[in-house]
């Protein structure tokens, strides 16, 4: 992204700066022109192609609300995904984006986040994309603490490919790959993310837009690898599975009570989000479990560590330009 424009309300446009890149291009900053407020109309792209009633519609609605509320710079919004019904998400957001290779969304997002730390990198995908084919990538993105906000729309099934057992399908689930019922122990997303080293880990439900919004805001404000698992019903291939956590369907949505550090006896019982062992204990509660922030910690991001390393290395070269460094390297290996 080199330069973009903003509307002036009279049909004309004014160029605005591409953003405050941290990579040291050396070009002078251009003053930002006043911007129009980001509206739902501006961020809406294609008509979603999900089945009527799919939980993913509500996730998209919450994301639009979040973008409007936070009024992010339009040209800095990036939505990325792997492959799956949920991974079609970037098609429906008018911004930079890509629908990438199945399971490889974290590496793609990592590259974009590290190369352009000024961008807002949002990643969307399913349980298959994130925990099955992309499980290993998820672990490494988490331990490296690469700055991004990852929303995993968990429907306990492969939706796009029409009902195969997914890594989060419960034992006994009958699918095309397990006609007599799933026999494999499912992944527990919260436990996996805690052990992988993600620095913000939360859980929500697509039937609760207000809760999704709160968590997207907190995940976005967190510096590092932030992940939200969202139970998002596949009405076609695994209907009603999340009703036990939906009050409108007779279930109960139990929210984690976080510590207020107010010294009261009731605070003793509240959850300390910085306590990894307590987060793990919450993750062992039987389905449908609890919702909210399980774990949050501050650890330097790979983005900040890499920035420091680049600056130190550049200083050692007498602040040479990228081209000069490249030329010197070629000269050395000639």
Which residues lie near ligand SF4 (CB under 6 A)?
50-51, 54, 56, 85, 155, 159-160, 234-237
Nearer to ligand TPP, 78 or 153 (CB): 153
Q: How many residues bind Mg ion (CB under 5 A)?
A: 3
Q: Which is nearer to ligand SF4, 96 or 163 (CB)?
A: 163
Q: Which does 54 bind (CB under 5 to 8 A by kind): Mg ion, ligand TPP, ligand SF4, none?
A: ligand SF4
Residue 56 beta carbon to ligand TPP: minimum distance, rounded to whole angstroms: 7
Cβ at position 213, least distance to ligand TPP in Å: 21
Least CB distance to ligand SF4 at residue 215 (A):
20
- Which residues are near ligand TPP by CB under 6 A? 83-86, 102, 125-129, 133, 153, 155, 157-161, 166
Q: 68 vs 243, which CB is nearer to ligand SF4?
A: 243
Under the binding rule (CB under 5 A), the answer on residue 155 touching Mg ion is yes
CA atoms of 332 and 334, how far apart (whole Å)? 6
Stretch in the footprint of Mg ion (CB under 5 A) among 53-61, 96-104, 127-135, 193-201: 127-135
Q: Which does 237 bind (CB under 5 to 8 A by kind): ligand SF4, Mg ion, ligand TPP, none?
A: ligand SF4
Q: For every residue of the chain, which 3-state class applies, written as one string? A: CCCEEEECCCCCEEEECCCCCCCCCCCCCCCCCCCCCCCHHHHECCCCCCCCCCCHHHHHHHHHHHHHHHCCCHHHEEEEECCCCHHHHHHHECCEEEECCCCCHHHHHHHHHHHCCCCEEEEEEEHHHHHHHCHHHHHHHHHHCCCEEEEEEECCEECCCCCEECCCCCCCCCCCCCCCCCCCCCCCHHHHHHHHCCCEEEEEECCCHHHHHHHHHHHHHCCCEEEEEEECCCCCCCCCCCHHHCHHHCCCCCECCECCCCCCHHHHCCECCCCHHHHHHHHCCCCCCCEEEEEECCCCCHHHHHHHHHHHHHHHCCCCCHHHHHHHHHHHHC
Which tokens in the block code for residue 119? 């961008």
Which is closer to ligand TPP, CB of 168 or CB of 226?
168
Given Mg ion, ligand TPP, ligand SF4, none, residue 242, with its beta carbon under 5 to 8 Å by kind, binds none
Nearer to ligand TPP, 90 or 128 (CB): 128
Residue with tokens 């880990």: 201
Report if residue 189 touches Mg ion, rule: CB under 5 A: no
203 binds, among ligand SF4, Mg ion, ligand TPP, none (CB under 5 to 8 A by kind): none
Residue with Cβ nearer ligand TPP (179 or 263): 179
127 binds Mg ion (CB under 5 A): yes
Name the residue nearer to ligand SF4 (CB basis): 50 or 294.
Answer: 50
Bond into 310 cis (ω within 30): no
Residue 328, token pair as written in the block:
């010197």
Q: Using CB under 5 A as the criterion, which residues of the chain lie in contact with Mg ion when the complex forms?
A: 126-127, 155
């Amino acid at each position: 992204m080199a330069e973009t424009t903003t509307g002036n309300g009279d049909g004309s446009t004014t160029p605005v700066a591409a953003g405050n890149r941290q990579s040291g291009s050396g070009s002078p900053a251009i003053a930002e022109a006043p911007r129009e407020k980001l509206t739902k109309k501006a961020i809406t792209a294609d008509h979603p192609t999900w089945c009527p009633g799919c939980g993913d519609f509500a996730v998209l609605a919450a994301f639009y609300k979040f973008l409007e509320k936070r009024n992010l710079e339009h040209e800095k919004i990036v939505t990325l995904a792997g492959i799956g019904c949920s991974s079609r998400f970037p098609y429906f957001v008018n911004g930079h984006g890509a629908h990438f290779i199945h399971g490889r969304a974290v590496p793609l997002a990592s590259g974009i986040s590290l190369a352009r730390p000024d961008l807002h990198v949002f990643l969307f995908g399913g349980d298959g994309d994130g925990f099955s084919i992309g499980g290993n990538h998820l672990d490494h993105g988490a331990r490296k603490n690469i700055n991004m906000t990852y929303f995993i729309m968990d429907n306990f099934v492969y939706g796009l490919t029409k009902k195969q057992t997914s890594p989060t399908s419960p034992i006994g689930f009958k699918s095309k790959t397990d006609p007599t019922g799933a026999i494999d122990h499912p992944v527990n997303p919260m436990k996996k993310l805690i052990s992988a080293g993600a620095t913000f880990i939360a859980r929500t439900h697509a039937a609760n837009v207000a809760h999704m919004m709160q968590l997207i805001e907190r995940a976005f404000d967190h510096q590092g690898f932030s992940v939200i698992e969202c139970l998002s019903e596949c009405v076609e291939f695994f209907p009603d599975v999340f009703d036990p956590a939906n009050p409108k369907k007779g279930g109960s949505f139990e929210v984690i009570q976080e510590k207020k550090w107010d010294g009261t006896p009731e605070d003793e019982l509240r959850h300390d989000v910085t306590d990894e062992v307590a987060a793990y204990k919450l993750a062992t509660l039987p389905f449908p479990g609890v919702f909210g922030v399980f774990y949050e910690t501050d650890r330097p991001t790979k983005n900040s560590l890499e920035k420091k390393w680049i600056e130190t290395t550049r200083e050692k070269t007498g602040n040479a330009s990228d081209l000069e460094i490249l030329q010197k390297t070629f000269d050395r290996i000639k």
